[in-house]
Structure 1
Amino acid sequence: MSFQPYPFHWVPAAGQRHASTDARPPGGYPTGMEVATLCGCRLDADNSELAWFWNTCPVCNRAAHALAGVPLYGGH
């Protein structure tokens, strides 16, 4: 079992980086795997190298910070 400091993982999907509490397979969510995101969507993961450079979904970002108990600086 691997260390997981927070109850979510980041996953690129639909042109943004989203957060999900779905179980993550070893190596990450494979491209095409449907995941439920913290912004309330069900999206297909995109595990391509460039997808990790996409902007972060602001709704997922706020929800992830709340789950982690970490303040969101700058009001974003």
Structure 2
Amino acid sequence: MDKNDLMQLVTLKMPYGKYKDRLIADLPGHYLNWFAREGFPKSELGRLLQLMQEIDHNGLKELLQPLRSQTEARHD
């Protein structure tokens, strides 16, 4: 995991499904846990979903807040 992976979590949107167009970092825990049970996609998206599930499961979502602030500042 590196900073680029974390930046992708706060900038990349889910491309399909019930939570289409929601940032990966904003996906609900139950949805991420569903992927953990059923299997993550075999792709870059799957790797990022798995990373987000680990962050969420371990209660570390607040670590993404500084990165969110950076991306919001860029869009202002």
| TM-score when normalising by structure 1 | 0.30
Q: Which has the higher strand share?
A: 1
| TM-score when normalising by structure 2 | 0.30
Q: Which has the higher helix share?
A: 2
